[in-house]
A and B are shown apart, each in its own frame.
Chain A
């Protein structure tokens, strides 16, 4: 590691004195430690300061000089933001001038005739050190792009506002740019930076009119702590205009979440809520503003409760796997061909919880893999048990979530489950959701190829629910396509939908992929699908998802039918 002292920048000292003897005296004292440049009067000094600004560590300034005196130099330096960063030590023989010099911004003074060299060196060294430290703090304090506070300083200052100015009652605002990574990808990083810069400028201008502070919290997230505003929609519009000014055609969309001041609400929590509100309107371009409310609070508490309960729930067997049959409808009567394993949560206090309430939540928090692994284990064990108990082979398909796709040991886990339970690979089918393809097509293709190489069968779930592409169909080495239930729902009434279903079935046939129609609820739907050549059907027409014990009735029924057929 290089210690920070070893990456000190070169230090240059400007000595300004009309008397050569003074310049020489200071040069011999300071020359061993610092680079020295000299000026004979104030005017020359200002020119040299501008020329050497980057390297200049300090100015030693005489007060009485021809052309321009030291006081005038200090006045001009104070008025110049760049020059003001360089500390000035005044050289003076007059006690009376000291106070005035300090009031005008001098960092210290050295009396003439000069003190011992050690005193001069010590004073110069100390002021340089202080200033370097101040500069480092300043660099860390502000985000260079937007001029707003960096996260840590912002957090500290917000805490101070709450602690020392509780009378201010400040609101918390969090603002994001929609799909900022795409803005960068489409228009380039420089454009993205220009947008952030413009937005920073807009926020700074706003804060000149009201009490408050702001930060570019991270990447494209801005946080503002300010006095209550009467109209947050107007404020968002104002910031939107600042962003649009960069390039109106680029369609930058902001979204904003606000948590108004509340008695006894900690600043961290206040900003967490503003952020939650902001996240809630992600992608909702029509309603980009959300003020945190009680309903959100209740939902967050519920979500937290569910998240907290997941691990112990698995341990305490609150989760249960249900099975929904898939029937082969090209046989007569339809034959029980396989089943889909579906998770259910019987919460000790909340009762039965719909997967719709917790699956998306666990997906967002990366905890869905815990559920998936549980389902895989249970399903594999169940298939083995039915095989043992009834001599009946019932393949079960399980969901593989997007989060699982990133698990480098996924294949190994699945292979082990199959082997430990003495199954063949076709008995544990894998359902991958269509949207995973849009997230990372290349990664998904690679994984599916590997899984199929291990002889697993892969089914594409929810086909047609999102942005399906023909490209995906032709690229993806699939075994089964699960047609989303919305296609089936209207086939009785809508000729278009029926034609669409036929089209999908035709394509699948061409690609030699079997199709499962989901959500089949009526005999009419079943007949139409059968006529159109659909292979398999899943839905309430045959059965809702059932616990394993109840599902066994279907197996027994199936065995009975097979026996009858055999006779």
Chain B
């Protein structure tokens, strides 16, 4: 599987990722790192605790990484979560809605991670 084919399978914006990272080699490096860096696991973990700051920090970091990688949907979901817990701003979602958003992130991540694993296997 080529990296372009992987982007097709995970619904990512390959052109956007290439615009940022300029070359497939770097795309390859960072898409592989997505599952090992723990940047999304941190959000899922934070969702279990009641610490809004940690949730904000984790969502903020995930948003940046996913946006650069052209993983648009995951970046948008992380962005919504970061906005929700941004210090100094009021909450708009209920706890249940937040849990739902985190669950959806988990699902997207699992699908994406599975495809990445297949990509890594060649």
The interface of chain A, by Cβ under 8 A from chain B, is: 18-22, 24-25, 28-29, 64, 93-94, 112-114, 116-117
Contact with A along B4-46 (1 / 0, CB 8 A): 0000000000001001111100100110010001010000000
In Å, the complex CA distance between A112 and B63 comes to 10
Contact of B33 among A20, A93, A114, A117 (CB under 8 A): A20
Give min CB distance, B9 to chain A, whole Å. Answer: 20
Q: Could you list 27 examples of A-B contacts with CB < 8 Å?
A: A19-B61, A19-B65, A21-B33, A21-B65, A21-B68, A21-B69, A24-B21, A24-B26, A24-B29, A25-B20, A25-B21, A25-B22, A25-B68, A28-B22, A28-B23, A28-B26, A29-B22, A64-B61, A93-B60, A93-B64, A94-B86, A112-B64, A112-B68, A113-B16, A113-B68, A114-B20, A117-B19
Q: Is the interface of B mostly helix, strand, loop or mixed?
A: helix
Q: Chain A residues near B30 (CB, 8 Å)?
A: 20-21, 24
| Contacting pair B64 A113 (CB below 8 A) | yes
The interface of chain B, by Cβ under 8 A from chain A, is: 16, 19-23, 26, 29-30, 33, 37, 39, 57, 60-61, 63-65, 67-69, 75, 86
In Å, the complex CA distance between A114 and B69 comes to 11
In Å, the complex CA distance between A24 and B65 comes to 12
In Å, the complex CA distance between A471 and B68 comes to 88
Q: Chain B residues near A117 (CB, 8 Å)?
A: 19, 22
**Which 8 residue pairs spanning A and B have beta carbons closest together?**
A113-B67, A28-B22, A21-B30, A25-B20, A21-B68, A114-B20, A25-B21, A113-B68
Contact of A22 among B16, B57, B68, B86 (CB under 8 A): B68
Give min CB distance, B71 to chain A, whole Å. Answer: 11
Look across to chain B and name the residue whose beta carbon is closest to the beta carbon of A24. B26
In Å, the complex CA distance between A112 and B65 comes to 10
Give min CB distance, B84 to chain A, whole Å. Answer: 14
Most buried by B among A19, A21, A24, A28: A21
Q: Chain A residues near B20 (CB, 8 Å)?
A: 25, 113-114
Q: A22-B68, A113-B75 in contact; A64/B21 too (CB < 8 A)?
A: no
Q: Chain B residues near A22 (CB, 8 Å)?
A: 64, 68
Look across to chain A and name the residue whose beta carbon is closest to the beta carbon of B23. A28
Give min CB distance, B91 to chain A, whole Å. Answer: 17
In Å, the complex CA distance between A120 and B39 comes to 25
Q: A24-B30, A25-B20, A29-B22 in contact; A114/B68 too (CB < 8 A)?
A: yes
Contact of B57 among A64, A113, A114, A116 (CB under 8 A): A64
Q: Chain A residues near B69 (CB, 8 Å)?
A: 21
| Contacting pair B65 A64 (CB below 8 A) | no
In Å, the complex CA distance between A258 and B67 comes to 68
Look across to chain A and name the residue whose beta carbon is closest to the beta carbon of B75. A113
Give min CB distance, A292 to chain B, whole Å. Answer: 64
Q: Chain B residues near A19 (CB, 8 Å)?
A: 39, 61, 64-65, 68
| Contacting pair A21 B21 (CB below 8 A) | yes
Look across to chain A and name the residue whose beta carbon is closest to the beta carbon of B88. A96
| Contacting pair B19 A116 (CB below 8 A) | yes
Q: Chain B residues near A94 (CB, 8 Å)?
A: 86
In Å, the complex CA distance between A18 and B42 comes to 15
In Å, the complex CA distance between A39 and B64 comes to 17
In Å, the complex CA distance between A542 and B75 comes to 114
In Å, the complex CA distance between A356 and B21 comes to 85
| Contacting pair A112 B67 (CB below 8 A) | yes
Look across to chain B and name the residue whose beta carbon is closest to the beta carbon of A64. B60
| Contacting pair B64 A28 (CB below 8 A) | no
Q: Chain A residues near B37 (CB, 8 Å)?
A: 20
Give min CB distance, B26 to chain A, whole Å. Answer: 6
Give min CB distance, A187 to chain B, whole Å. Answer: 61
| Contacting pair B22 A93 (CB below 8 A) | no
Q: Chain B residues near A114 (CB, 8 Å)?
A: 20, 68
Can you add 10 more A-B contacts, CB < 8 Å, to A25-B22, A93-B64, A113-B16?
A19-B61, A19-B68, A21-B33, A21-B65, A21-B69, A24-B21, A28-B23, A93-B67, A113-B68, A117-B19
Give min CB distance, B93 to chain A, whole Å. Answer: 19
Contact of A28 among B21, B57, B86 (CB under 8 A): B21
In Å, the complex CA distance between A302 and B67 comes to 82
Give min CB distance, B87 to chain A, whole Å. Answer: 10
Give min CB distance, A396 to chain B, whole Å. Answer: 92
Look across to chain A and name the residue whose beta carbon is closest to the beta carbon of B21. A25
Most buried by A among B19, B23, B39, B63: B19
Q: Chain B residues near A28 (CB, 8 Å)?
A: 21-23, 26
Give min CB distance, A34 to chain B, whole Å. Answer: 15
In Å, the complex CA distance between A19 and B61 comes to 8
Q: Chain A residues near B60 (CB, 8 Å)?
A: 64, 93
Q: Chain B residues near A64 (CB, 8 Å)?
A: 57, 60-61
Q: Chain A residues near B64 (CB, 8 Å)?
A: 19, 21-22, 93, 112-113
